[in-house]
Amino acid sequence: MQFRTILTLIGLAVALVAPPVGAQSASDTVLLEMNQAFKKGDSARLTALLPETRGHLLAPWAAYWELRARLETASPDEVAAFFSRYRNTYQEDRLRNDWLLLLGQRRDWAAYAGVANDFRMNDDREVRCYTLAMEHILARVDSADEVKTQWYAQKDAGDGCTLAAQSHLAAGQLAEADIWRKARLTTEARQLNSTRQVVALVAPDAAVALDEALKQPARFLLKRTPSNQRQTQELAVLALIRWADSDPDAAAQALGERWGKHLSNAQRGWAWGAIGKQAALKLSDSALRYFQSASHKGMSDDQLAWRARAALRQHQWQDALDSIDAMSPDAASDSTWVYWRARALLQPGRTETERQNARQALQDVASVRGFYPMLALEELGQPIDPPAAPAPLTALEKERARSNPGLQRALAAIALGLRSEGVKEWNYTTNLHSPGGMNDRELLAAADLACQQAVWDRCINTSERTRSVIDLVQRFPMPHRQAVIERSRSIDLDPAYVYGLIRQESRFIVDARSVVGAAGLMQVMPATARWTAKKIGLTDFKPDQLHDRDTNIAIGTGYLKLVLDDFAGSMPLAAAAYNAGPGRPRAWRGQVGDPSLEAAIWAENIPFTETRDYVKKVLANTTIYAALITGQTQSLKGRLGQVGPRDVSALTNRELP
């Protein structure tokens, strides 16, 4: 399908949006009051209001709130009755999750076993760990590998996963080394109380020394005599992790001159990996040297990812390749590392077999599904063109989506202002693991329903989950088309860039508000809005005007234009500035005299995970929107360009907030 045809369909989709929901009914008001009572933990008020919600479409939510608020004192019969009455609903499975956590905490394995088999979401690591613990305690099932997978993936310790690890350790199915690895992970995640809980499993007498290692790592490492004793070695690794967090160079010196020869290869590898990671997060030129001080084998996937990033930043392609090859299969299969591994194998001096393998790897991930898949297309010399559109939805497929009880409740909750509840129910209903699941055609129909109701975030997110087909009309809608395009073009700003940013910022939710106070379509902070309003001549601006669509677009685009101009038209730098503030991308550009970087390498080295993902997604979005708006094939690489150190002789707008 041609881009212009897709554009026409987008216009039709917007025109078909359903009218707004009418005024609230009395029972709607009761639902909202119950929601507030639930947030406050007012169990008595919930019980009193519950009868007034009978017959309401969202009655399952009211019943869930009422029982959940008093779950610790509820009887098993009450819980079983709820499961029966609301069978196959999100609320039933949500309460089952809550009940399993409570039974696991109580170690009531007989009751747990009777409930666990019907749990469908299976998306809670703690519940899964309680199940593994139960199976081991009752039937001596050896699940050590899965216990490690679940436990290591948690930033904290978690009662369920700690219990599962403890029971497997006692049975000799986990080794002390496995426990110390978890302690390193929690320390790197700055979950120090969890570190203490984990270390107590294998070294209960080490509390005082551990406290010093975590709170005063320099003192621990410089005043304590190095030893080959296992406990001292492991505590030294934890201290090195902590010290590297604040001063990677000092930690590197302590490791190289004092502790290195007293650690095992695995311990030394992890310590250098932690130091190298912190240096890489500071964009230090020392990072790669620290990483190279030890074997890849002792490092975690996260450390190896930062080793690869540091190598890319210094154009050390072999080291990047070695780092990626040392990752676990799951980590290395991410499109990020598939792409950079292929790029490394396409460098001069590689064999033809390696180059063929690289091209095949790129072909395997190449598509319009994201940043690296799109870069893979361009690396292969293929255009970023839209895939074939799926066959139009039939009337029957649309009707099935409209009549789906879960989708109905989700839309009703969102319309009532219970967005969090509505999103959860929508996601559950469209999830393959829910009763019946949804195939690609059903997902397209559900996404279409959300589009018609202007619930753009569910439209986009649901359509993005299709596996064999891609509907760009659903994935990249253009609501508020006239307002966005006219305003953008009036200030010489690419409307595709604005759409790419809005899609990432708010998913076109006009009244979106972040936890830090950013508001509206373009998620503008009040202080930034006040500053920008003065710059663009918007008089008498008040922060509550950010909820007005046109005002939000005017201020958001005005600020984006100012930032873009400050960064000489660099879309990656301006996107980073929009997300993290202008000061940080200035620092991330490097020192005067540093070589320019391919912007994809620069973006991959952004120290903030949120900003790193944000820049990549905004630029990928922009490329698709540009193709949709212009009807012409676009280049993501062309939009990325190069990122070099700031020219200190250039005029800069240092007023940017």
As a whole number, mean pLDDT of residues 636-652 equals 78
Confidence of residue 255 (pLDDT cuts 50, 70, 90): very high
23, containing H or E segment? none
Say how far apart CA 275 and CA 243 lie, in whole Å.
9
User: Average pLDDT, stretch 142-154?
Assistant: 97
Q: What is the pLDDT of residue 290?
A: 98
Q: pLDDT band at residue 32, thresholds of 50, 70 and 90?
A: very high
**pLDDT at residue 6 greater than cutoff 50:** no
Residue 593 pLDDT class (50, 70, 90 cuts) = confident
CB atoms within 10 A of CB 139: 7
DSSP tag of 255: I
Q: What is the pLDDT of residue 654?
A: 53
The per-residue pLDDT for 595 is 84
Q: Model confidence at 648, in pLDDT bands (50, 70, 90)?
A: low
pLDDT of residue 41: 97
User: From its phi and psi, is residue 158 left (phi > 0), alpha (psi between -120 and 50) or beta?
Assistant: left
Alpha-carbon gap, residue 186 to 195, rounded angstroms:
6
Task: State percent of the chain over pLDDT 90.
Answer: 89
- Pairwise pLDDT comparison (375 vs 631), residue with the higher score: 375
Q: Evaluate if residue 597 carries a pLDDT over 50.
A: yes
CB environment 417-434: b (16+ within 10 A), e (fewer): ebbebbbbbbbbbbbeeb
pLDDT category, 385, cuts 50, 70, 90?
confident
Query: What pLDDT was estimated at residue 10?
Result: 39
272 pLDDT higher than 80: yes
Whole-number Å distance between alpha carbons of 497 and 522: 12
Residue 620 has pLDDT above 60, yes or no: yes
* pLDDT given for residue 434 in this prediction: 59
Task: Return the pLDDT at 8.
Answer: 39
Rounded-to-integer distance, Cα 287 and Cα 455, Å: 45
Tokens linked to 125 = 């690591």
Contact 577, 585 (CB under 8 A): yes
CA dist., res. 170 & res. 183, Å (int)? 18
Per-residue model confidence (pLDDT) at position 655: 67
Write down the mean pLDDT value for the chain: 93
Q: Whole-angstrom Cα distance, residue 294 to residue 632? A: 49
Distance CA 626, CA 497 (A): 8
- Both tokens of 111, joined, read 């009751």
If we measure between CA atoms, which residue out of 256, 260, 258, 287 comes closest to residue 274?
Answer: 287
CB 18 within 8 A of CB 455: no
Rounded distance between C-alpha atoms, residue 619 and residue 597, angstroms: 17
Alpha-carbon dihedral sign for residues 432, 438, 441, 442 = negative
The percentage of residues in the chain with a pLDDT greater than 70, rounded to a whole number, is 94
Q: What pLDDT does residue 524 have?
A: 96
Helix, strand, or coil here: 634? strand
Q: Is the pLDDT of residue 21 over 90?
A: no
> What pLDDT is stored for residue 432 in this prediction?
65
- The tens digit of pLDDT for each residue in 554-586 reads 999 999 999 999 999 999 999 999 999 999 999
Q: 409 pLDDT exceeds 90?
A: yes
- Predicted confidence band of residue 433 (pLDDT cuts 50, 70, 90): low
Q: Do 182 and 151 form a contact (C-beta atoms < 8 A)?
A: yes
